[in-house]
Amino acid sequence: MGASGGRPVARLRAPPPVRQSPVYDARLGAGVPAGGADADWQPVAASLGVDAAHLVRLHQVHGASVVIRRAGDGRPLQPRPDADIVVSDDPAVALAIQTADCVPLLIADRATGVVAAAHAGWRGLAAGVPGVTVVALAHEFGSAPADLIVAVGPSISAERYEVGEDVRTRFLASGWPEARLERWFRAATRPGHWLFDGWESVRDQLLSAGVPGGSIYSAALCTSANPDLFCSYRRDGKGAGRIAAAIRRSAALD
């Protein structure tokens, strides 16, 4: 862990030859409403060498909709589009999402240089966000899953994430096989409740989408269990801040 502007920052950098810059800012505007004021995002933008006007953000809705940002598109859309995934080949902008227990994903393509940022809570994982992101990169920019490298940021661990039967039922209704659910849901102490393993779900979905296991890098840090480092909605409630996850394509790859 390092420090940036007085805030703890986890910088997860992929090994060469990937030159994209991923950043996890562990304390984005603690105590501010979800979405955050533009001023809260300025340090995140600056850490990736852009101004706040060139930080592509989303109005996250716990789904699997994708925003495509192409080089030459101009300034990011306002108001922010309803989506949880953004993919881009534009080195002039940085992509950013925010979390407070959900899983943040940053993805880079070693071969083409394109990047993606995705937000995946349990609803997003039921909707297949990891796989949808991989497919979007392949369809829009020709990425091969084998060329992708993924940073899985801090999020809530299974030990701290008890959910009700409705969550498990949602995964079944979304078509996930029982064998997968046995890996992702462990029986909790309370009847009719489960401990949901989002980390395992993300990894399994990425592997199924063709991303090599050796290219998936997980922080394996629990937001709920580390109050001195991370924001957690499950722990702190509505007053929780947000973690910023951002990535930018390097112009050096062009």
Domain residue ranges in the chain: 2-121+222-253
Q: Percentage of residues in the chain with pLDDT exceeding 70? A: 84
Pick the CATH number of 2-121+222-253 from 2.60.40.10, 3.40.50.150, 3.60.140.10, 3.40.50.2000: 3.60.140.10
pLDDT tens track for 202-228: 999 999 999 999 999 999 999 999 999
Name the 3-class secondary structure at 170. Answer: helix
Strands (DSSP E) along 167-250, which ranges? 185-187, 193-196, 216-218, 242-248
Sign for the pseudo-dihedral over CA of 202, 206, 207, 209? positive
If one compares 118 and 37, the residue with the highest pLDDT of the two is: 118
Q: 34, 89, 92, 26: which is closest to 58 by C-alpha? A: 34
Q: What is the pLDDT of residue 4?
A: 33
The amino acid sitting at 171 is: F
252 has pLDDT over 70: no
Structure tokens that stand for 240 in this block: 């929780």
Q: What band does 28 get if pLDDT is binned at 50, 70 and 90?
A: low
Nearest residue to 175 via CA among 210, 139, 131, 212: 131
- Average pLDDT in the chain: 87
Least confident of 21-35, 97-111, 156-170: 21-35
Q: According to the model, what pLDDT value does residue 11 have?
A: 42
Residue 7 has pLDDT above 80, yes or no: no
pLDDT digits (tens, 9 = 90+) for 140-171: 999 999 999 999 999 999 999 999 999 999 99
More confident residue, 74 or 117: 117
* Per-residue confidence (pLDDT) for residue 13, from 0 to 100: 39
Q: What is the mean pLDDT of residues 31-53?
A: 76
State residue 192's pLDDT score. 94
247 and 95 in contact (C-beta within 8 Å)?
yes
